[in-house]
Chain A
Protein backbone atom coordinates (compact mmCIF):
# COMPACT_ATOMS: atom_id res chain seq x y z
CA UNK A 1 0.00 0.00 0.00
CA UNK A 2 1.28 3.48 -0.86
CA UNK A 3 0.08 4.98 2.40
CA UNK A 4 -2.09 8.05 2.73
CA UNK A 5 -1.73 10.22 -0.35
CA UNK A 6 -2.33 13.96 -0.27
CA UNK A 7 -2.31 16.47 -3.07
CA UNK A 8 -1.11 19.00 -3.83
CA UNK A 9 2.09 18.96 -1.81
CA UNK A 10 2.33 22.74 -1.92
CA UNK A 11 -0.31 25.33 -2.74
CA UNK A 12 0.25 29.05 -3.08
CA UNK A 13 -2.82 31.14 -3.71
CA UNK A 14 -4.11 34.65 -3.31
CA UNK A 15 -6.56 35.78 -0.71
CA UNK A 16 -10.14 35.21 -1.80
CA UNK A 17 -9.38 32.23 -4.02
CA UNK A 18 -10.88 28.79 -3.52
CA UNK A 19 -8.51 26.06 -2.34
CA UNK A 20 -9.19 22.33 -2.55
CA UNK A 21 -7.02 19.81 -0.77
CA UNK A 22 -7.30 16.12 -1.59
CA UNK A 23 -6.69 12.93 0.31
CA UNK A 24 -6.69 9.22 -0.50
CA UNK A 25 -6.69 7.13 2.68
CA UNK A 26 -5.23 3.68 3.10
CA UNK A 27 -7.51 1.04 1.62
CA UNK A 28 -9.63 -0.64 4.28
CA UNK A 29 -9.30 2.14 6.84
CA UNK A 30 -12.68 3.31 8.09
CA UNK A 31 -11.65 6.54 9.81
CA UNK A 32 -10.33 9.66 8.08
CA UNK A 33 -9.10 12.77 9.86
CA UNK A 34 -8.15 16.25 8.69
CA UNK A 35 -5.66 18.11 10.91
CA UNK A 36 -4.07 21.54 10.55
CA UNK A 37 -0.59 22.31 11.90
CA UNK A 38 0.79 25.76 12.73
CA UNK A 39 3.63 26.88 14.95
CA UNK A 40 1.28 28.82 17.20
CA UNK A 41 -1.51 26.29 17.66
CA UNK A 42 0.20 22.98 16.99
CA UNK A 43 -1.80 20.15 15.45
CA UNK A 44 -5.54 20.84 15.48
CA UNK A 45 -8.27 18.41 14.49
CA UNK A 46 -10.60 19.98 11.95
CA UNK A 47 -13.03 17.17 11.12
CA UNK A 48 -13.19 13.40 11.01
CA UNK A 49 -15.22 10.80 9.17
CA UNK A 50 -16.20 7.24 10.00
CA UNK A 51 -17.29 5.07 7.08
CA UNK A 52 -17.53 8.22 4.92
CA UNK A 53 -19.89 9.95 7.35
CA UNK A 54 -18.77 13.19 9.07
CA UNK A 55 -18.78 12.58 12.81
CA UNK A 56 -17.44 15.77 14.31
CA UNK A 57 -16.71 19.02 12.48
CA UNK A 58 -16.51 21.23 15.56
CA UNK A 59 -12.87 21.95 14.80
CA UNK A 60 -13.63 23.55 11.45
CA UNK A 61 -12.74 27.21 11.99
CA UNK A 62 -15.69 28.77 10.19
CA UNK A 63 -18.12 28.36 7.33
CA UNK A 64 -15.40 29.04 4.80
CA UNK A 65 -14.16 25.50 5.47
CA UNK A 66 -15.97 22.43 4.20
CA UNK A 67 -15.03 18.76 3.85
CA UNK A 68 -16.52 15.85 1.98
CA UNK A 69 -15.92 12.15 1.68
CA UNK A 70 -17.94 10.91 -1.29
CA UNK A 71 -16.50 7.40 -1.06
CA UNK A 72 -14.10 5.31 1.01
CA UNK A 73 -11.09 6.22 -1.10
CA UNK A 74 -11.34 9.98 -1.42
CA UNK A 75 -11.84 13.08 0.69
CA UNK A 76 -11.55 16.82 0.04
CA UNK A 77 -11.10 19.83 2.26
CA UNK A 78 -12.18 23.07 0.67
CA UNK A 79 -11.56 26.65 1.78
CA UNK A 80 -13.64 29.32 0.06
CA UNK A 81 -12.70 32.13 0.19
CA UNK A 82 -9.18 31.64 1.50
CA UNK A 83 -7.51 34.13 3.85
CA UNK A 84 -3.85 34.65 4.87
CA UNK A 85 -4.56 33.24 8.34
CA UNK A 86 -5.44 29.91 6.71
CA UNK A 87 -1.77 29.44 5.84
CA UNK A 88 -0.65 26.20 7.50
CA UNK A 89 0.20 22.59 6.79
CA UNK A 90 -2.92 20.48 6.37
CA UNK A 91 -2.65 16.78 7.11
CA UNK A 92 -4.95 13.95 6.29
CA UNK A 93 -4.70 10.77 8.35
CA UNK A 94 -6.51 7.46 8.26
CA UNK A 95 -7.02 4.71 10.80
CA UNK A 96 -8.02 1.10 10.73
CA UNK A 97 -8.83 -1.27 13.57
CA UNK A 98 -5.59 -0.91 15.51
CA UNK A 99 -6.05 2.72 16.64
CA UNK A 100 -2.81 3.94 15.03
CA UNK A 101 -3.00 6.95 12.75
CA UNK A 102 -1.27 6.94 9.39
CA UNK A 103 -0.53 10.44 8.11
CA UNK A 104 -0.05 11.76 4.62
CA UNK A 105 2.86 14.04 3.79
CA UNK A 106 0.68 17.10 4.15
CA UNK A 107 -0.21 20.09 2.00
CA UNK A 108 1.73 23.27 2.70
CA UNK A 109 -0.78 26.07 2.04
CA UNK A 110 0.31 29.67 1.65
CA UNK A 111 -2.37 32.32 1.16
CA UNK A 112 -0.93 35.65 0.07
Chain B
Protein backbone atom coordinates (compact mmCIF):
# COMPACT_ATOMS: atom_id res chain seq x y z
CA UNK B 1 0.00 0.00 0.00
CA UNK B 2 1.17 3.55 -0.71
CA UNK B 3 2.29 5.54 2.29
CA UNK B 4 3.24 8.66 0.40
CA UNK B 5 1.10 10.42 -2.13
CA UNK B 6 2.58 12.99 -4.48
CA UNK B 7 0.82 16.04 -5.79
CA UNK B 8 0.43 17.02 -8.57
CA UNK B 9 0.42 13.81 -10.61
CA UNK B 10 1.89 15.70 -13.55
CA UNK B 11 3.57 19.08 -13.92
CA UNK B 12 4.72 20.90 -17.04
CA UNK B 13 6.91 24.00 -16.83
CA UNK B 14 9.26 26.09 -18.95
CA UNK B 15 13.01 25.79 -18.62
CA UNK B 16 14.31 28.20 -16.00
CA UNK B 17 11.16 28.08 -13.88
CA UNK B 18 10.97 26.48 -10.47
CA UNK B 19 9.16 23.19 -9.96
CA UNK B 20 7.47 22.28 -6.68
CA UNK B 21 6.19 18.80 -5.88
CA UNK B 22 4.41 17.81 -2.70
CA UNK B 23 4.17 14.58 -0.79
CA UNK B 24 1.73 13.64 1.95
CA UNK B 25 2.00 10.55 4.12
CA UNK B 26 -0.13 8.84 6.70
CA UNK B 27 1.91 7.51 9.63
CA UNK B 28 4.87 8.65 11.70
CA UNK B 29 8.14 8.34 9.86
CA UNK B 30 11.83 7.80 10.52
CA UNK B 31 12.94 9.60 7.41
CA UNK B 32 11.60 10.71 4.04
CA UNK B 33 13.50 10.36 0.80
CA UNK B 34 13.04 11.68 -2.70
CA UNK B 35 13.97 9.71 -5.80
CA UNK B 36 14.03 10.47 -9.48
CA UNK B 37 13.25 8.09 -12.33
CA UNK B 38 14.08 8.79 -15.94
CA UNK B 39 11.98 6.97 -18.52
CA UNK B 40 12.95 3.31 -18.78
CA UNK B 41 15.47 3.49 -15.93
CA UNK B 42 15.68 2.63 -12.25
CA UNK B 43 15.10 5.12 -9.48
CA UNK B 44 17.97 7.31 -8.33
CA UNK B 45 18.24 8.70 -4.81
CA UNK B 46 18.16 12.50 -4.59
CA UNK B 47 17.93 13.53 -0.97
CA UNK B 48 17.06 12.22 2.50
CA UNK B 49 15.50 14.26 5.27
CA UNK B 50 15.12 12.92 8.79
CA UNK B 51 12.01 13.35 10.92
CA UNK B 52 13.80 15.85 13.20
CA UNK B 53 14.89 18.04 10.27
CA UNK B 54 12.79 20.74 8.66
CA UNK B 55 14.73 21.68 5.57
CA UNK B 56 17.57 20.36 3.50
CA UNK B 57 19.40 21.58 0.39
CA UNK B 58 21.40 19.81 -2.27
CA UNK B 59 22.46 21.86 -5.28
CA UNK B 60 19.27 23.08 -6.98
CA UNK B 61 17.12 20.89 -4.76
CA UNK B 62 15.39 22.06 -1.62
CA UNK B 63 13.32 19.71 0.52
CA UNK B 64 11.09 20.69 3.42
CA UNK B 65 9.39 18.45 5.94
CA UNK B 66 6.43 19.30 8.15
CA UNK B 67 5.77 16.36 10.46
CA UNK B 68 2.74 18.09 12.05
CA UNK B 69 1.06 18.10 8.63
CA UNK B 70 2.68 14.85 7.52
CA UNK B 71 3.89 16.48 4.35
CA UNK B 72 7.04 17.26 2.41
CA UNK B 73 7.85 19.34 -0.62
CA UNK B 74 10.61 19.11 -3.21
CA UNK B 75 11.61 22.31 -4.96
CA UNK B 76 13.80 22.25 -8.05
CA UNK B 77 15.07 25.71 -8.87
CA UNK B 78 16.04 26.99 -12.32
CA UNK B 79 14.77 23.83 -13.98
CA UNK B 80 16.44 22.34 -17.04
CA UNK B 81 15.15 20.07 -19.79
CA UNK B 82 17.31 17.32 -18.25
CA UNK B 83 15.19 17.49 -15.08
CA UNK B 84 12.32 15.90 -17.02
CA UNK B 85 11.56 12.72 -15.08
CA UNK B 86 9.21 11.22 -12.50
CA UNK B 87 9.84 12.13 -8.89
CA UNK B 88 8.87 9.89 -5.98
CA UNK B 89 8.78 10.36 -2.26
CA UNK B 90 9.37 7.38 -0.01
CA UNK B 91 9.11 6.90 3.74
CA UNK B 92 10.06 4.37 6.36
CA UNK B 93 8.94 4.02 9.95
CA UNK B 94 12.33 2.97 11.29
CA UNK B 95 15.86 2.39 10.04
CA UNK B 96 15.14 -1.31 9.62
CA UNK B 97 11.88 -1.10 7.70
CA UNK B 98 11.64 -0.91 3.92
CA UNK B 99 10.78 2.23 2.02
CA UNK B 100 7.22 2.65 0.81
CA UNK B 101 6.88 4.76 -2.32
CA UNK B 102 4.18 7.07 -3.62
CA UNK B 103 3.00 6.98 -7.22
CA UNK B 104 5.14 9.90 -8.25
CA UNK B 105 4.92 13.24 -10.03
CA UNK B 106 5.74 13.37 -13.73
CA UNK B 107 7.69 16.53 -14.43
CA UNK B 108 8.12 17.84 -17.95
CA UNK B 109 10.52 20.75 -18.46
CA UNK B 110 10.07 22.35 -21.86
CA UNK B 111 13.08 23.99 -23.48
Residues of A within 8 A of B (CB): 4, 33, 35, 42-43, 45, 48, 50, 56, 91, 93, 99-106
Contacts of A100 in B (CB 8 A): 33, 45, 48
Nearest residue, chain A, Cβ from B6: A42
A99 touches B48 (CB 8 A): yes
A42 touches B101 (CB 8 A): yes
A45 touches B100 (CB 8 A): yes
Contacts of A45 in B (CB 8 A): 98-100
Residues of B within 8 A of A (CB): 2, 31, 33, 35, 41-45, 48, 88, 90, 92, 95-96, 98-104
Bound together, the chains give a CA A50 to CA B90 distance in angstroms of 19
Bound together, the chains give a CA A34 to CA B63 distance in angstroms of 27
Tally A-B pairs: CB < 8 A: 47
Nearest residue, chain B, Cβ from A104: B42
The A interface is mostly helix, strand or loop, or mixed, namely: strand
Contacts of B33 in A (CB 8 A): 99-101
Given contacts A42-B2, A43-B88, A99-B48, contact A91 B42 (CB under 8 A): yes
B48 touches A103 (CB 8 A): no
Chosen A-B contacts, 18 in total, with CB atoms closer than 8 Å, are A42-B2, A42-B102, A42-B104, A43-B104, A45-B100, A48-B98, A99-B31, A99-B92, A99-B95, A100-B33, A100-B48, A101-B43, A101-B90, A101-B99, A103-B42, A103-B44, A105-B41, A106-B41
A43 touches B31 (CB 8 A): no
Q: CB < 8 Å: which of B43, B92, B100 contacts A103?
A: B43
The distance from the CB of B105 to the nearest CB of chain A, in whole angstroms, is: 12
The distance from the CB of A55 to the nearest CB of chain B, in whole angstroms, is: 8
